[in-house]
Amino acid sequence: MEKDYKVLKITQMVRPGEIEGVVNVYRHSIKTKGGIVLHIEIKEEDLTAEKAAPILLARAQEADKILKL
C-alpha cells in the first residue's frame, strides 16, 4: 500500500517564545499522494515518530480531500 505522504525535508527553526526565551520547531516539507507539497511545523516536544506521524497524515489526507473538490 502506498503511503499518503512522503517527507521531503525537515528543517529546524528557532522562534521567540511567548513565555520562554526561544522555541525550536521543525518544518516538515511533505508531498501528498495527490502531488501537493505542504509545509507543516511541529514543536520540538512533538518530534517523535509516534506523535508526528498522525499530524502529518491528517494534514496530507485533508489536503488531498480539498484537491478533489
**Which tens digits make up the pLDDT trace of 26-43?**
999 999 999 999 999 999
Q: Is the pLDDT at 1 greater than 80, yes or no?
A: no
Question: For the residues 7-16, what does the mean pLDDT come to?
Answer: 95
Give the residues across from 6 on adjacent strands: 31
Q: Identify the DSSP state of 48.
A: S
DSSP states of 9-21: EEEEEEEE-SSSS
pTM strictly above 0.75: yes
For the chain, the structural domain boundaries read 5-67
Per the rule left: phi > 0, alpha: psi between -120 and 50, beta: everything else, 56 is alpha
Q: Is the pLDDT at 2 greater than 70, yes or no?
A: no
Q: Is the pLDDT at 20 greater than 80, yes or no?
A: no
Question: For the residues 51-56, what does the mean pLDDT come to?
Answer: 96
